[in-house]
């Protein structure tokens, strides 16, 4: 079961500015490691203070479609035996 990833977005009370984003694919685990550095500015406060935040999360790759084994037409044909 995968966890949904919710990115921070700007609201009327805070402004979110993305400073840096690094995406590193991992072939073995089939995920992308994401490192995000962002600045949050609180506009609700009269002083408008700013903080920096670092977040790290993984995004799973979609599953590859599985190839279905298709029987050939020769194998599907029924053999009829007549008793003459």
Q: What is the model's pTM?
A: 0.60
Q: Which DSSP symbol is given to 78?
A: P
| Buried-exposed string 20-47: b where 16+ CB fall within 10 A, e elsewhere | eeeeeeeeeeeeeebebebeeeeeeeee
pLDDT for 23-74, tens place per residue?
999 999 899 999 999 999 988 877 778 999 999 988 888 887 776 655 555 5
Q: How many CA atoms lie within 13 A of 6 on its CB side?
A: 3
3-state secondary structure of 75: helix
């Amino acid at each position: 079961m995968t966890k949904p990833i919710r990115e921070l977005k700007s609201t009327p009370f805070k402004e979110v500015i993305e400073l840096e984003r690094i995406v590193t694919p991992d072939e073995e685990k089939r995920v992308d490691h994401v490192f995000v550095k962002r600045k949050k500015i609180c506009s609700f406060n009269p002083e408008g203070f700013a903080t920096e935040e670092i977040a790290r999360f993984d995004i799973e790759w979609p599953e590859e479609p599985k190839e279905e084994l298709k029987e050939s037409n020769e194998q599907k044909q029924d053999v009829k035996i007549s008793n003459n």
